[in-house]
Structure 1
Amino acid sequence: MCGRYSVATKKLLKEHRQSARYPGIINDPIYNAAPSQALPVVPNTSPDTTALFSWGLLPAWATSTRTNRPINARADSLTQSPMFRTLIGRKRCLVLADGFYEWKKKDSPQQSLFDLPASAGKNKIIRQPYRFTLLSEDLFSFAGLWDEWVDKSTGEVLKTFTIITTEANELVQEVHDRMPVILTSEAEELWLNNDEPVEALLDLLKPYDAAAMKAYPISPLINSPQNNMPEVLNSL
């Protein structure tokens, strides 16, 4: 699962593959991107621009916004899911990010009253957040799907997206059994290519090379979506 991530990159080199799309779409870094927020994506229908879509897919056929809005889509069941199977061939996007977060559960029984904050209490389970980035800490893209929902009573158009997940690589496995699909620069272009067959697109949805990534424990400040501050990225 991917339930929180960051788009905190402050500056891109001119030669970076996303430099033409990224500038101007975000005025402030996003350290703690959370579901329902408007976040930067590159849709396949407009591959040279970046737009702000709401995280949590609302399908075009939904009768209201109260419909369940999944933030993730499993790569291994895309073609079987009624919500996603028509989107894989028509509505794909790059979800811009520079890191994502996962929480590792660990048992930490309290030995005395003075164990805090190392322990949350007797026999309580602590969830330690970790941040995952590329070794370069550079901007990258998740593979995403998007859709457009129209409110028939007002004509309002709502564009939303979901992030595709796959099995975890060796690094992420230490914390969680799944991870978001991170696309290589070559895979990004194929993912946006409207002529690419679905079978070839599905082959792109694999775990990213663990040797090209790193992870570190971070502050529990990340636990609250309201904490959008650079301190949430600080390692422990």
Structure 2
Amino acid sequence: MCGRFALTASPEEVREILGLLELEDFPARYNIAPTQPILVAIAAASHEPGSNRPDRKAQLVRWGLIPSWVKDPKDFALLINARSETATEKASFRAAMRHRRILIPASGFYEWHRPAKESGDKPQAYWIRPKHGGIVAFAGLMETYMSADGSEIDTGAVLTVAANQTMAPIHDRMPVVIQPEDFARWLDCRNLEPRDVQDLMRPADEDVFEAIAVSDLVNKVANVGPELQTPVAPREELKKPAPKKPDSGQMSLF
């Protein structure tokens, strides 16, 4: 899953990489948490086919998707993540997968490795960042919720997928990362249905991220400085998953 992330790149870098029409200045954010506003990119409705100019708009949404059919958000679970394998089937995400796919820029995300209960150790926080620097774009979904008093709020969730071999020792899930060459496909909800972009919802390549153990400071939402990403010695060494056995091509009853 993805429960915290960061966006510390400059507005200029984010605007250029995502191809945004415009983007206001914003401060570096080292500890973005659920229910907080997050920056997302959506397809611009006025884009002209064949145009080389930027064709995406920046928007702020609340992290925590609320489906349009919810009567009272107080009685509804906070949906910060959506499983990519079932998002097209779930009532909470089905409409957004078809009509409101978004990109969520991030400088990296945090994940916690939970040791065996008998060890007595606390979960170890890790800062997962692009190995070669820069930012990545998470696949996301957006819904606009209208409350009983007529007020509207834009909300969003991060799509997740089974972890790759790099992430698996820490957690069994990770955010879906959309590559720049696939931004247009992912955002094109006019012409492409969920089945047309299903191939994009896969684990990131093994050389995309690196994991750095960090302190427990990230656990508290009130901590928002760069010290959250200072490396520390991990409490225990991560165990790499056993390599998959090659498929012999022979059927087995066991």
Alignment TM class, shorter chain as reference: 0.7 to 0.9
Confirm whether residue 90 of structure 1 aligns to residue 99 of structure 2.
yes
TM-score, scaled to structure 2 = 0.81
Confirm whether residue 37 of structure 1 aligns to residue 36 of structure 2.
yes
- Map of 1:117 onto structure 2: none
Counterpart selection for 1:167 from 162, 165, 181:
162
- Cα shift at 1:73: 0.5
Runs of 5+ unmatched residues, structure 2 = 46-54, 233-254
Confirm whether residue 79 of structure 1 aligns to residue 88 of structure 2.
yes
- Cα shift at 1:19: 5.9
Aligned residue runs from structure 1 range 12-91, under 5 A: 12-13=12-13, 16-18=16-18, 20=20, 23-26=23-26, 28-44=27-43, 48-66=56-74, 67-91=76-100
Judge which range, 196-205 or 29-38, deviates more: 196-205
**DSSP 3-state at the match of 2:94:** coil
Runs of 5+ unmatched residues, structure 1 = 110-122
TM-score, scaled to structure 1 = 0.86
Aligned residue runs from structure 1 range 119-198, under 5 A: 123-153=119-149, 155-194=150-189, 195-198=191-194
Count of equivalent residues: 221
- Aligned in 2, Cα 1:223/1:13: closer, same or farther, shift over 3 Å? closer
- Aligned in 2, Cα 1:108/1:88: closer, same or farther, shift over 3 Å? closer
Give me the whole-angstrom Cα distance separating, in 1, the residues matched to 2:104 and 2:207. Answer: 22
Q: Which amino acid letter does the alignment assign opposite residue 184 of structure 2?
A: E
- Aligned in 2, Cα 1:202/1:25: closer, same or farther, shift over 3 Å? farther
Judge which range, 173-182 or 7-16, deviates more: 7-16
Give me the whole-angstrom Cα distance separating, in 1, the residues matched to 2:121 and 2:22. Answer: 40
Q: Which amino acid letter does the alignment assign opposite residue 210 of structure 1?
A: E
Q: Deviations over 1:168-204 (max 9, x none)?
A: 0111111001101011112222111121232121211
- Cα shift at 1:126: 1.4
Give me the whole-angstrom Cα distance separating, in 2, the residues matched to 1:143 and 1:14. Answer: 15
Q: Deviations over 1:120-172 (max 9, x none)?
A: xxx5231111111112221111000110011232x211000010000001111
Q: Which amino acid letter does the alignment assign opposite residue 178 of structure 1?
A: R
- Map of 1:105 onto structure 2: 114
Give me the whole-angstrom Cα distance separating, in 2, the residues matched to 1:210 and 1:17. Answer: 22
Judge which range, 72-81 or 158-167, deviates more: 72-81
- Map of 2:52 onto structure 1: none
Give me the whole-angstrom Cα distance separating, in 2, the residues matched to 1:22 and 1:99. Answer: 23
**DSSP 3-state at the match of 1:82:** coil
Q: Deviations over 1:188-235 (max 9, x none)?
A: 221111212321212110001111221111121011111111100111
Judge which range, 208-217 or 45-54, deviates more: 45-54
- Cα shift at 1:25: 5.0
**DSSP 3-state at the match of 1:49:** strand
